[in-house]
Amino acid sequence: MVKVSVITVVWNAAAELEKTLSNLAALECTAASLEVIVIDGASTDGTPEVMKRYGDLISYGVSEPDGGLYDAMNKGIRAATGDYLWFVNAGDTVYAPDVLTRIFSGPCPTADIYYGETLVVSPAGKPLGLRKKQLPHGGLTWHSLLRGMVVCHQSFIVRRSIAPLYNTDQYRLAADIDWVIECLKRASTVENTGLILSCFTTGGVSTRRRRASLRERWHIMCSHYGLFRTLWAHVIFVCDLLRDKLLRRPPYRPYP
């Protein structure tokens, strides 16, 4: 039976961690076994107590200072022993209890990467809709991310043997897009599950942090795609943004 390592990173978010762990505890594990890894950045709220309450579920848990989100995610990768890695951070959830069964019910998983849709929910848990960026119709490749983060890492399950560590030496705000590109470059087979895999809880991001993240993404895209292709992709992005505003398109796609 295939084993999936679900890595949850948390810092001072006890209620959000409880929500995520309660969700993971309800997953069907008939086609895949679950290894739950919790990396806590030395929280000072009730997070350690939540980890203790879910001690039977958590295969590996640690509460200690770290160098930020991506350093914590790297700790999770190093601790993982599963065939696949799946990042479901505190506050986020798996969409349906039978997701793993529906993905891994075949005789032998063959894909290096499985991916799907993401449902965006409010902090109160209200469904807002699917992510605005659509999954590429022709299949997901590393070239697809020239359009931006077309797949959410909460809906991206990657074979551990091909997954690199996050590049924390160069990137601190947008290392996720670099990591996804690197995973896709190393993958031989990538499969669209056709499923909604996760629920992502939206939250506010400061303008300063958003701008810094966009600058970092620019450097990441230039390193992978070159200056000209990155510049042209941003021209298209700005045109799409202006068109959406003029047509008053909603921020999310309809949720069935």
Tell me how far the alpha carbon of residue 26 is from its chain's centroid. 20
d(CA 71, CA 105): 33
Q: Which fold has domain 2-247?
A: Spore Coat Polysaccharide Biosynthesis Protein SpsA; Chain A (3.90.550)
pTM score: 0.94
CA distance 210 to 196: 26
In the prediction, which pLDDT does 15 show? 95
**Domain chopping of the chain, boundaries:** 2-247
**Model confidence pLDDT, tens digit, residues 158-209:** 999 999 999 999 999 999 999 999 999 999 999 999 999 999 998 755 456 8
Secondary structure (H, E, C), 66-116: CCCHHHHHHHHHHHCCCCEEEECCCCCEECCCCHHHHHHCCCCCCCCEEEE
Among 101, 96, 73, which Cα is nearest to 26's?
Answer: 96
Tokens of 212: 């810094």
Question: Quick one: DSSP state of residue 136?
Answer: P
Can you tell me which residue has the tokens 């914590």? 72
Bridge-partner residues for 217, per DSSP?
none
* Average pLDDT of adjacent 10-residue blocks, the chain of 256 residues: 97 96 96 97 96 98 95 98 97 96 84 96 91 90 94 96 97 94 98 96 68 91 97 91 86 85
Q: Which residue type occupies 174?
A: A
Structure tokens at 127: 């469904």
Helices and strands counted in the chain (H then E) = 7, 9
